Structure 1
Amino acid sequence: MSLANSIYNTLFKRTSTFALTCVFSAFFFERTFDLAADKLFEKYNEGKLWKDIKDKYQ
């Protein structure tokens, strides 16, 4: 319970820190999700992307 109280008192008690927490969390979530989606796309399409086949056409 003390961990929840300390997180609440640090990040969520004041409106300004709550807003900053939301903004930073959204930024880091978006960045992480974008990198993971790119990796998944490249893994799924391996051998079909330009970086994989450009040697054949140059």
Structure 2
Amino acid sequence: MAGISNAIYQSLFRKNAVYLTAIFASAFAFELSFDTASNKVWDSWNAGRQWKDIKPRYLVKDEEEDDD
């Protein structure tokens, strides 16, 4: 166990620039994954009620009215 913590310290925490870069990179990766997951949950809960789902029905209806 001491070997793992020593390796982490030597690779990430020893230099401040590397430590901060690791923090910002992990925060960015977490934000991307959280946003993707929350968008998928939102889309699954609201399927059929969003504009992207009902847009084709209104576009077809408008085109039929223009033909008359």
Instruction: Specify the TM-score bucket, using the shorter chain as the normaliser.
Output: 0.7 to 0.9
Structure 1 residues without counterparts, runs of 5 or longer: none
Moved over 3 A (4+): none
Q: TM-score scaled to structure 2, two decimals?
A: 0.77
TM-score w.r.t. length of structure 1: 0.88
Gaps of 5+ in 2: 60-68
> What's the counterpart of residue 33 of structure 1?
34
TM-align CA RMSD: 1.0
Query: In the comparison of the two structures, how many residue pairs are matched?
Result: 58
Structure number with bigger Rg: 2
Structure number with greater CO (CA < 8 Å, separation at least 6) is 1
